Chain A
């Protein structure tokens, strides 16, 4: 029985140790669960789009619902100009959602509860959006840092503030997802520990809390994937439609 609520986040090696130079690229439980969620996504969407019948079966319904959900989200927040980036945002949303949801199954590992995973995702979004912005507007993209109607005396300060607020985007994006997932899973483990230590007499209260928390965590798992995707859309919108 693992009493420490943090042991669930341990990353350990599965199989042989593989080293390239100074880097350890062995196959770990984190990589295993990333592969599991990717394969699950591929399977669902392959089966769901194999034969498109007029009366959809459950898997096809799932695939079509998630398609329209993401497509509506993109057109709502980033407008019709963001349509070419649908594939990227869709796969991002699905990957985060499936990683979060697989983490809700007991004895699994939550990939998104590690800041390095979420930060790499966020950093790729940040770099990608910046590159798109420069490709669309050239150096005019730098106008993002210079709001209109600011007196010249305040301009140096405002530009520094704008740059910091721009740089804080990947940090806030990654910390939000990671903190929510880690806090939720730790809390569930702590309440689970209470059930064991209080035994059959007093364990019922923490057990009911645990049940409630599980529901809440499933909501959070979905919501954080949604927020991650919608913020990507908002950043993309800033890069595509430059108006400040």
Chain B
């Protein structure tokens, strides 16, 4: 088989694969899977925020101010996480 012919055939095959992958993005089978995501997403960010606040308080001796601030920042981060993953689901 001549080399050029093989190359064009390779190109066509690659394009086909790309098209197929693009098509697959439309029907996402993971709806139940992503639904499980949301609950822990919210809690984890709050927990991480509070832990960071706790560490800051321990190092600077400013209890309870950093815990208070970072708790609420964590809540905001959790809500952002949930909104973001919900948006990803709708894509």
Contacts and interface: CB of A to CB of B under 8 A. Distances in A.
A binds B: yes
Interface of A: 72-73, 75-77, 79-80, 157, 160-162, 164-165, 167-169, 171-172, 175-176, 179-180, 223-224, 226-227, 230-231, 234
Interface string B49-64: 1001000000000000
A120 to B, nearest CB: 16
Interface residues of B, number: 30
A167 B88 CA distance: 19
A80 B36 CA distance: 26
A58 B71 CA distance: 52
A168 B82 CA distance: 12
23 contacts: A73-B30, A75-B21, A76-B21, A77-B30, A79-B21, A80-B21, A157-B73, A160-B73, A164-B45, A164-B49, A164-B74, A165-B45, A165-B77, A168-B47, A168-B77, A171-B44, A172-B43, A172-B81, A175-B40, A175-B44, A176-B37, A179-B40, A227-B34
B73 A231 contact: no
Contacts of A176: 36-37, 39-40
A168 B84 CA distance: 14
- Which of B25, B44, B45, B88 counts the most A-chain CB atoms under 10 A from its CB? B44
A215 to B, nearest CB: 15
Contacts of B37: 172, 176, 227, 231
Interface of B: 18, 21, 24-25, 28, 30, 32-34, 36-37, 39-41, 43-45, 47-49, 52, 70, 73-74, 76-78, 80-81, 88
A79 B18 CA distance: 10
A179 to B, nearest CB: 7
Contact of B36 (A75, A76, A227): A227
B44 A223 contact: no
